[in-house]
Amino acid sequence: MSTSSEIVPGSTPRKPFGERLDRFVRAFTTKEGIIGDYDYGFLFRPNLPFMRKSRRPAPFFGLNDRMPLVLALLLGFQHALAMLAGVITPPILLSGSGGANFSVATQQYLVSSSLIVCGILSLIQITRFHIKGTRRRYFIGTGLISVVGTSFTVIPVAQGVLAQFYKNGTCATAADGTKLPCPEGYGAILGTACVCALLEIGFSFFPPRFLRKIFPPLVTGPTVMLIGVPLIETGFQNWAGGTGLCRNRPGSGLFSLCPTVDAPHSLPWGSAEYLGLGFSVFITIIICERFGSPIMKSTSVVLGLLVGCIIAAATGYFDRSGIDAAPVASFMWVETFPLSVYGPAVLPMLAMYIILACEAVGDISATCEVSRLHVEGELFDSRIQGGILSDGLAGIIAGLCTITPMSVFAQNNGVINLTRCANRKAGIACCFFLIIMGIFAKFAAALVAIPSAVLGGMTTFLFTSVTVSGVKILTTMPFTRRNRFILTASLCLGYGATLVPNYFDYVFTYNGNNHSLSGLLNAVEIFMSTGFAVTAIVAMILNLTLPEELEDNEAVDPEEGTVSSSDSAAAGEKQA
């Protein structure tokens, strides 16, 4: 029977206050507590062909093991760098020319706030709180290095909502076709996300096995794949110069060059120079993966972005005006947006939170595995429950902090695996660095000033990893005839809606004054143009309705390379 002094069910009881205070003082006043005897060279040792590799593996730091202060700060900074690109990408895309078209100052604020909120919500996940007064032991958070970042899943939904707002006139457009800033549209996304987050909070109180049954890999795999596909399109457009009106290559006017004719070193969309800038990021990521040290491999995307920025600055593509004009410090609520609930966006948002809950189960399971913890039992189930609940609460808290929904990030599991450190002290240090990065507004201003081509080279790689994650989920299931049929049917409609998002724009012709009916039709239109939502619903319905089939086991002839059923293979053996 677990006691109230335990951090989690089945864990070691907390030490007396005096003993904990003594350990805290020793951590800051002794060489063992500050530096320890860790081989710091392991983190920076490159993987070059002619270098001798150490045969002695680095020590593994468990969840609550003692850990030197310097190492905790170093690995925490590594975690922060590993998730930096993923944290800043959604606010930059949704506030830029492909989203709400905010001013540079507002974009800088959203990037700063995103970093701060990520740090705070990650701290909640890592610290883990017991909900007092509950009969069962319910928690908020996982108690692991489960860092939280701005979710990519919201980007296709938000872009669809903003596109409809500009189409129906809720968001203003200038006479020359330039889309003006739309705080009302962004506020509607935040408000709707806050309300729909209640669904994921409800899911947190269901057993994990129930979620796996309703949303198996057959449903979540193709859905995650479809989340990445439209994002890759956005990343590739930025790689070629930008996502604004300049991508249409008008012959004259403000957008005849990218990003505008007034920008330093502006060029037509698709110019070789832009493609080269993006490629410098891409090739740097590959070099880091092949020859880099553990710390370089886990931060390869950020290093690629840094190299691209250096080249862009040296060749005159950087605009420093936004950095010079930015304040020194920033915080949440420096700018606010009018919150509202946009009914037509509810269905896609609900589908988004279903996917986030399923992703959380997989990500937390992976974190337990690389942290060398049990992946079954009461303790594991409590981590899943706490993680999903914290994820749902993050959707509400982030919206109230002017940021789009957040979810558990999976890429930091790679950092744990590479550095052999699952210690929560490193996670807490990561939160500290994220908050500091967000408070210093000049840092956010430098990120917003990154040229679109450099940003596109990074985001294209990052978004493709989302699609690959969907493929990885699919590999965990057998490709039976039934499963292949469900995949084909769901991906058929999902890919179609993703590649031709306006195919459903002309189905409804209602122009009356019934606002309820208009809202319903708009909801159906947004839902049908959101590829991953269509795929999720179709796959889920077919998985629940199509019966399982008893299929022949298939055997592969290694010499002929042909596939035959087990019955025919047995008959062939008898004839032989």
**In this predicted model, what pLDDT tens digit does every residue of 95-143 receive, in sequence order?**
988 889 999 999 999 999 999 999 999 999 999 888 887 766 789 999 9
- Number of domains comprising the chain: 1
Assigned domain for 560 exists: no
Q: How far is CA 66 from CA 23, 144, 296, 396, 432, in A?
A: 9, 15, 25, 35, 19
**In this predicted model, what pLDDT tens digit does every residue of 343-371 receive, in sequence order?**
888 988 998 998 888 888 888 888 888 88
Instruction: Look at residue 107 in the predicted model and tell me its pLDDT.
Output: 93
Assigned domain for 572 exists: no
Assigned domain for 242 exists: yes
b/e for 457-486, b at 16 or more Cβ within 10 A?
bbbbbbbbebbebbeebbeeeeeeebbeeb
Instruction: Look at residue 276 in the predicted model and tell me its pLDDT.
Output: 95
Residue 421: strand pairing partners: 61
Assigned domain for 322 exists: yes
C-beta separation of 102 from 113 below 8 A: no
> Rounded to whole angstroms, how far apart are CA atoms 510 and 518?
7
Long-range CB contact pairs, 527-530, < 8 A, 24+ = 527/347, 527/348, 527/351, 528/497, 528/504, 529/160, 529/497, 529/501, 529/502, 529/503, 529/504, 529/505, 530/156, 530/157, 530/160, 530/348, 530/351, 530/497
pLDDT value at 194 more than 70: yes
> Rounded to whole angstroms, how far apart are CA atoms 148 and 120?
9
Range of the domain at 226: 69-544
Vertex 60 angle, CA 9 and 69, to 5°: 90
pLDDT value at 2 more than 50: no
3-class secondary-structure state, position 271: coil
The terminus-to-terminus CA distance of the chain in angstroms comes to: 63
Instruction: Look at residue 1 in the predicted model and tell me its pLDDT.
Output: 37
> How many residues does this entry show for the chain?
576
Assigned domain for 369 exists: yes
Least-confidence region, from 16-25, 215-224, 289-298, 415-424 = 16-25
DSSP H helical ranges for 240-377:
272-291, 294-298, 300-314, 321-325, 346-370
Assigned domain for 552 exists: no
436 vs 245, residue with greater confidence: 436
Which strand (E) or helix (H) includes residue 408? strand 406-408
Assigned domain for 9 exists: no
> Rounded to whole angstroms, how far apart are CA atoms 226 and 462?
14
Assigned domain for 177 exists: yes
C-beta separation of 458 from 305 below 8 A: yes
**Nearest of 154, 196, 141, 146 to residue 406 by alpha carbon:** 154
* Residue with the two structure tokens 């942290």: 371
Mean pLDDT of 31-53: 76
